[in-house]
Amino acid sequence: MKKHIAWLLACLLVSPFQIILAEDGSRLWLRQDNGTQTEIVVPKTSPTLNLAAGELRRAWQGNPVTLVLKADKRMKKEAFTLRQTDGKVIITSPSEVGLLYGTYHILRLQATRSLSEITEVPVTCSPSYDLRLLNHWDNLDRSVERGYAGKSLWEWDELPLHVSDRYAEYARANASIGINGTVLNNVNASAQILSPEYLEKVKVLADIFRPYGIRVFLSVNFASPMQLGGLSTADPADKQVAGWWKRKVNEIYRLIPDFGGFLVKANSEGQPGPQDYGRTHADGANMLADALKPHKGVVMWRSFVYSPDSDDRAKQAYKEFVPFDGQFRSNVIIQIKNGPVDFQPREPFTPLFGAMPHTAQMVEFQITQEYLGFANHVAFLSPMWKECLESDTYCRGANSTIARVTDGSVYPQSVTAIAGVSNIGTDANWCGHPLAQANWYAFGRLAWNHELSSEAIAREWVCQTYGTDPHLQALDTLLLASREAVVDYMMPLGLHHIFSFSGHYGPGPWQTMPGGRPDWQPPYYHRADSIGIGFDRTTAGSDAVSQYNEPLASQYNDLRTCPESLLLWFHHVPWTYRMKSGRTLWDELCLHYDTGVKQARRFQTLWDSLQSYVDAERYELVKQKLIIQTRDAVWWKDACLLYFQTFSRQRIPLDVERPIHELEPLMQLRFRIGNHENAPLILN
């Protein structure tokens, strides 16, 4: 009876002409469950094929489907072919997991009303990358570094005896978008993850994920032989150290035969590494690679390194890694953040991409929104990732894009990979913000096919998550405009890293830390003074431009040809400099901040227009999040413009909304993310 009352109340909260049941978002984009009794033919019984058949019986409404296993040396193992013949849909693949991917694909086509794409002419779908990985920054105490959706999914204290139903749900969601690997723990790794006790727990997760085609990887602490093995050193040149790693790797593979390998953060932000012993990144990575190679495991060695005495943090990765090109083992992949500083709302691409022709490279994106408003702001990140993937490095002339560099098209790689830092937690809707699910989805789809457009991905996600009513295309519009709006109201025109110290949430361009590292302080990046603003990375400044190939180096070096979206990244620009619009830099900066605020308000209007087409529960949660986002956008605009105005001494243009705050109170704000909903608590 109570359930019926709740159902009626939910109906009353939406349009009187339409019944939409309330949802908590836990079903993600996998909401089809009204299949018919269509004939499903599978080649045999197995855990993976049983999953595929089950998905079709649950949701498929079309013609009979036949799954065919067929060896084909011309196809990647996970690829599949679709065709329709004699009134039947035929999915063919060299592997069982390929058939599972094909199953999810036709269900996606059904949900988006695109089944006409299945024709008599066979169409092959093949992944862009061999390894398509989520990186979880989850700690063993179940806290999540840069996580904004509750605790870690992994209930380490309960494993291996108690197994959460969410583990299989997680694997299903990932398989549906083509993700085939997961790094379970934080890159700031505890050595304890390699203990026998924890490896038994990891084995349970690996066994659950295996039928879905998902392999488990672990982040490892380079000092594990000391912290766990009792050795006096972790020197990669020490035979005892190398021996310890080989024994540990063998132990892992006895438990988990399809274990994927290690992710390593070394000699970065205080983490131990080979440089502690006068060795190189190549020395450290190769020692681990040698231990993994007999088992076909890989080492993903992160290039995120920087030192407090660097003249420009953005140059550090290039300087440390390029000299060792060709010295890494074939099963080592250098994992490179999309931008040279740290997942900023907008950065140029890292110049390391394409600069090591004899070393495998992979891109690391951040799905969780560390610098884009956490789980409070809607920021659809596919346009950001496409911006990176489509950037031309010119490492072998034109069309040497980052996508082609990392997928093995420009330089051959024995294995290709892409990674995204997860935004998943224990919240019912998985990601804290219902619309943040779109970023998890988008990463998987781009990892499978980096040629997909952001528009196509947004349309897919909206259709599967909210429905195909034409009115819902307004949600596509909101998503596609959202990342640029965040850039505008936070850090337009190439500004970067001017966040509050308190968790990278609110504005803090004025903040300094007496005696602290310069590169942890916002003034290091914006360098505002009475003349102008911006970081001079030209040949007359830090010379970071010289790490880029021509014609980019010259383009970025010249104030007149540098893209205005990156202007303050590469140049210290006078406040009175005339932009392409004819406005001064100061007026243009003001206009961008104002535009960002207006977009945030527009998002509220767009979402309000969808009330009759979205269930009440998700509608209300997104509505509240957009209220927070708009408030935050005004904070950012007022704080930055009032602060930078103390240097520019320029008037805010009359067509820009007047600040509603005063600078001094804003400078006293401290942000702490303390409650479950991740709304900022303001501490005076």
Q: Would you please indicate which residues are annotated as catalytic (active-site) residues?
A: 269, 342, 370
Number of H helices, E strands in the chain: 20, 17
For residue 249, the one-letter residue type is: V
Distance CA 429, CA 24 (A): 6
Distance CA 114, CA 121 (A): 16
3-state DSSP call for residue 449?
coil
Distance CA 529, CA 526 (A): 9
Q: Are 360 and 415 in contact (CB under 8 A)?
A: yes
Structure-token match 């070394």, residue found: 266
Angle between helices 585-608 and 616-648 (to 10 degrees): 170
3-state DSSP call for residue 154?
coil
Please give the radius of gyration of the chain, using alpha carbons only, rounded to the nearest integer: 25
Q: Which residues touch 74 (CB under 8 Å, ≥6 apart)? A: none
Distance CA 402, CA 10 (A): 47
Tokens of 438: 């779109």
Q: Are 97 and 211 in contact (CB under 8 A)?
A: no
For residue 44, the one-letter residue type is: K
Distance CA 665, CA 684 (A): 9
Distance CA 455, CA 476 (A): 8
Could you count the other beta carbons within 10 Å of the beta carbon of residue 681? Answer: 11
Distance CA 122, CA 92 (A): 10
Counting every residue written for the chain, the total comes to: 684
DSSP 232: S
Q: State phi, psi for 550 to the nearest 5 degrees.
A: -75, 145
Distance CA 46, CA 506 (A): 51
Q: Are 45 and 69 in contact (CB under 8 A)?
A: no
Distance CA 25, CA 23 (A): 6
Distance CA 178, CA 657 (A): 45
Q: Rounded to whole angstroms, what are the CA distances from 303 to 234, 263, 268, 335, 521?
A: 20, 11, 9, 6, 22
Distance CA 458, CA 213 (A): 25
